[in-house]
Amino acid sequence: CDGVFTRRWVRWFAESVSRTEPELTDLDRRVGDGDFGTNLLVGLATTIRVLDRSPVTAGESRAADPLEVMAGVFLDEVGGTSGPLFGLVFQELAASARAAGPTLTGAAVEQGIGAGLAAVRRVGEAEPGDKTMVDALLPALTEVRRAGPLPAERALALAARGARRGVSETARLRARRGRAGYLGDRVTGVPDPGAVGVAVLFASAAGPVTA
Ligand code: ADP
Ligand code: MG
Ligand code: MG
């Protein structure tokens, strides 16, 4: 999986987010302030604009490059709590891809998700069960780890499955972090928007998704 693969993944992620934005916005209206869908959408639109300015030329398409562009945009420009936190996840995925060589491997996916999860937990100070994106990243990592050595596409498909499982769990959780933390029991029954965003990220490696 080279830079053509990761570029297509980022493009499909952007496509997925434009399809799911109304749902993401609605979720964040119920558990937060309603800007999560827009934050993600704007960040991805900017990422695609930057990528389109630098078309890939054969032989110099490293898997890490598009992920690094996306990381830079989210860390520097995207608002909300999720902007920088998603930026950290993208940055760790990019760093692991870079360390693996020109192509993305299943081991690099596992390593990147693990490091992304650690970074989000460090910066966001969220624990598992706090009803945040941590609750999608952790089961994603568990699923990939359990499977052992895999090609990157398979690892990402498993990460998507783990993350989706995490999303349904978040619906049963009471939030303790972020804005949803102030709303207490009112948000029980509603999945965490950031967790849904993580599931959409991994699922998009196989094509654009609706939710
Ligand atoms: P904001 O609350 O600043 O408007 P966003 O709407 O952009 O942030 O993102 C909300 C998402 O960010 C939540 O659904 C949750 O997954 C994630 N999040 C919020 N706070 C934290 C935190 N402290 N640690 C980890 N993730 C968090
Ligand atoms: Mg918000
Ligand atoms: Mg906000």
Q: Which ligand has its closest atom nearest to the C-alpha of 39?
A: 1
pLDDT of residue 186: 62
pLDDT at 61: 81
How much distance in Å is there from the Cα of 3 to the middle of ligand 2?
A: 31
Ligand 1 pocket, Cβ-based, cut-off 6 angstroms: 28, 32-33, 35-36, 39, 80-82, 85, 120, 124-126, 132-134, 177-179, 192-195
pLDDT tens-place string over residues 62-116: 999 999 999 999 999 999 999 999 999 999 999 999 999 899 999 999 999 999 9
5 vs 177, more confident: 5
Instruction: Give the residue-averaged pLDDT of 42-53.
Output: 96
pLDDT at 173: 86
DSSP class of 127: P
Domain residue ranges in the chain: 3-206
Residue 44 has pLDDT above 80, yes or no: yes
Q: Which of 15-19, 44-48, 65-69, 180-184 has the lowest mean pLDDT?
A: 180-184
Using the mean position of ligand 3's atoms as its centre, give its distance from the Cα of residue 124 in Å: 14
Q: What is the pLDDT of residue 182?
A: 65
Whole-angstrom Cα distance, residue 171 to residue 29? 15
Ranges of H-type helices in the chain: 3-31, 36-53, 64-77, 82-100, 106-124, 134-147, 152-172, 193-203
Q: Which ligand is nearest to the CA of 34?
A: 2
* DSSP one-letter code for 184: G
Fold of 3-206: 1.25.40
Q: What does the pLDDT look like over 130-181, one tens digit per residue?
A: 999 999 999 999 999 999 899 999 999 999 999 999 999 999 987 777 766 6
In a mutational test of the pocket of ligand 1, which residue from 82, 122, 138 has the highest number of ligand atoms less than 8 Å from its CB? Answer: 82
Query: What whole-number distance in Å separates Cα of residue 189 and Cα of residue 204?
Result: 25
Going by pLDDT thresholds of 50, 70 and 90, the confidence category of residue 59 is low
Ligand 3 centroid–CA 32 distance in Å is 8
What pLDDT sits at residue 183? 65
Question: Whose CA is closest to atom 27 on ligand 1?
Answer: 132
Q: What is the pLDDT of residue 184?
A: 64
Q: Which of 61, 57, 49 is nearest to 11 (CA)?
A: 49
Q: Identify the pLDDT of residue 185.
A: 63
pLDDT at 122: 98
**Ligand 1 pocket mutation, candidates 24, 36, 174, criterion most atoms within 8 A of CB:** 36
Quote the ligand 1 centre to 45 CA distance (angstroms): 20
Of all atoms in ligand 1, which is nearest to the CA of residue 120? 25
Distance in Å, CA 136 to ligand 3 centroid: 20
